[in-house]
Chains A and B, each alone.
Chain A
Amino acid sequence: MLASLGVRALILSSFILVVTLGFWELSTPAVKTAGEMTEYELLMGGADQEARVPPPSQILVRAWEELSNPFYDNGPNDKGIGIQIGYSLFRVLTGYLMAAIIAIPVGFLIGMSPLMYRALDPFIQVLRPISPLAWMPLALFIIKDSEASAIFVIFICSIWPMLINTAFGVAGVRRDWVNVARTHELGALRTALTVILPAAAPTIVTGMRISIGIAWLVIVAAEMLVGGTGVGYYVWNEWNNLDLTSVIFSILVIGVVGMLLDAAFAQVQRAVRYQE
């Protein structure tokens, strides 16, 4: 009971990890080395009768190989994981930024004007539940560029949480604070920037955090469809190569990158938070 909660949680986490990986490792029968195999086994690919999920040790080895040279480029179907992640991040951030540029001002407008809120609400309610991938055929047809279509899909999926949270945050700014701005004769722009924006910032950033999470979820699926580059394509390509080790490795990488993106926004959230 001497150790702090954090330390104890860390110990328990490590225990769960070791046990899980241990079971996984042990439940996967070791593949015989080439020397032990009969001629027939070698001809049949040196494997079992059925394909198995590779053990964690194999994934660790693959991870080491990939991460020690993440930026190699051996042509269209063989690029390092770093390059693939780079492509995906570029798409996510471009689409996300475009969404923010539109969602935050429009959210402000909706939050400040009950008329705009009522006028735009039906459009938002219909458009919001549409799966971002459902836009893909239309995007491909109109934009005629797979790269730009992927960015558009990110744009359309990350716009809604930001838009709704901004409107919600702006509409919920305490009347008193707005009155402070009014009694100090602040103009509309000064009021928006010095009172409403900081007051609504925690809600807006929460929306941005939700959006980046969704964008990272969607990019994998979008790239599986679009193909060519990106971590989503990488997963699908390795599946086509029947390289499950790489598939599992890339799944983990997707998780870690998503976690880092989320952590970055958690920092922003901490910076704009205030206590009443």
Chain B
Amino acid sequence: MDDRPFLEIDGLAKRFPSPGGETLTVFENVSFDINRGEFVCIIGHSGCGKSTILNVLAGLDEATSGAVTMDGREVVGPSLDRGVVFQNYSLLPWRSALKNVTFGVRARHPDWSRQQILEHSYRYLEMVGLSGGAEHRKPSQLSGGMRQRVSIARAFAIQPKLLLLDEPFGALDALTRGTIQDELIRIWSGSEQTVFMITHDVDEAILLADRILLMTNGPYARVAESVMIDIPRPRNRAEIIHDQAYYRIRNHLVEFLALRSKTLAAEHDGETGGVPKPNRPLTVRPGSADEDQKSAGEPPSCREAELVSLAR
């Protein structure tokens, strides 16, 4: 085993020829690493190319330049090593929930017997809470939450090296989203699965991720920061909100999305092209106390209160 990270993304760029004759650069110079077993979320405004990056990782789309290396091998085309959960579930509507999962399992293990495939599929369907007859329903007879559960079960059941989630909870109501997030965390913590997930929800990202990648606005979007989430696991949505680090991280993320994603994007326009950019995004730890001292944005009284709470 060498020291190279499990997943390396190097200088990814996506450009489209636009009608005017100029090329439209959606994102460029996107480089980051993901370690084995890490849960990484990526946040950015619509149009910054998050989904395209995910599709490139999945092998469904091709970047204009740059390379993706997983486990020392370049990613070319889709593979069973990279499972994808799409926002719109992408279940096959003519197959029952169970058959959608066996579809994946059979593709992964063509040598397995029917019985083995069924047992394996049932195990994952039970993991997401789909059993007792509901697994024989067609997707159209299931609620949105149930459909996404099936989709997650299908992705986990093929046990990919990398799991890609494209805004999996975007179409769900807040309550359902909460339950499925908890389930996702529970399944993930037992699996040592590497996860790369797109989300628009800051709270969801903090709850789930080890690290959050922040993208600037497009065009010419790039991954500007890599925010470490220093909140101990297991995390719980009810307790996490009492953690002081939670708010520091949350404020940092919201500030980035509201203001800096725009100003950083504007910086590009002012650039003359000579300034070399860092190869990897800046790592920040807004959750830890000493990072706070550097920024010194908060009034000292607030800081003292935190230290007291930490001392307890």
Contact = CB atoms under 8 A, between A and B. Distances in A.
Interface string B88-130: 1010111100000001100110000000000000000000000
A176 interface: yes
Contact of B104 (A176, A179, A182, A184): A184
Q: Is the interface of A mostly helix, strand, loop or mixed?
A: helix
Chain A interface extent, by class: 10 to 19
Interface residues of B, number: 24
Contacts of B82: 183
B166 to A, nearest CB: 11
Contact of B84 (A183, A201, A276): A183
B191 interface: no
B60 interface: yes
Contacts of A179: 60, 78, 84, 86, 90
Given A176-B86, A275-B138, A185 B78 contact: yes
B281 interface: no
B79 interface: yes
A32 B249 CA distance: 104
A117 B189 CA distance: 49
A21 interface: no
Contacts of B83: 183
B24 to A, nearest CB: 21
B80 interface: yes
Contacts of B103: 184, 194
Interface in A171-223: 176-177, 179-180, 182-186, 194-195, 198-199, 201
A274 interface: yes
A260 to B, nearest CB: 27
B158 interface: yes
24 contacts: A176-B90, A177-B90, A177-B92, A179-B78, A179-B90, A180-B92, A182-B78, A183-B58, A183-B59, A183-B60, A183-B78, A183-B84, A184-B103, A184-B104, A184-B108, A184-B158, A185-B79, A185-B80, A194-B103, A201-B94, A274-B94, A274-B138, A274-B140, A275-B93
